[in-house]
Amino acid sequence: MNEYFIIANSFAAPFFSDTSEKFVEGINPEAALLSFVENYNHPSGLFSAWLYKDANSERKNEKPLAKWESNAAVYQGKEIPLELNPKLGSLR
């Protein structure tokens, strides 16, 4: 298993998003991120999560290895299609 670093933001609760940082393990970046998403527990839900090789990579503004974004994050500033739930999302 490999260890990765995640930065996640909740939906605004009620005015500001809560940011969390966590180290997670997985066989690859996508598996580690999906595990985090499945276990994320916040009353307002997950807005977005970015996974990095390690905390130094995030601090150095390196490109994330994987991203999960809610439909609301993807369509920010645009109208979300009616068939999409704003709180559901996908890997990017």
Residue 92 has pLDDT above 80, yes or no: no
Q: Which is more confidently placed, 23 or 13?
A: 23
Single pTM value for the model: 0.84
What are the tokens at 36?
């985090």
- The residue range of the domain holding 51 is 2-91
Q: Which is more confidently placed, 49 or 16?
A: 49
> In a 10 Å sphere around its CB, with 0-12 CB exposed, 13-18 middle and 19+ buried, how is residue 79 labelled?
exposed
- If you average pLDDT over residues 67-92, what whole number do you get? 78
How many domains is the chain built from? Answer: 1
Do 44 and 13 meet the contact criterion of CB atoms below 8 Å apart?
A: yes
pLDDT tens-digit map of 17-39 = 899 999 999 999 999 999 999 99
Residue 87 has pLDDT above 90, yes or no: no
Calpha distance 17→25 (Å, rounded): 25
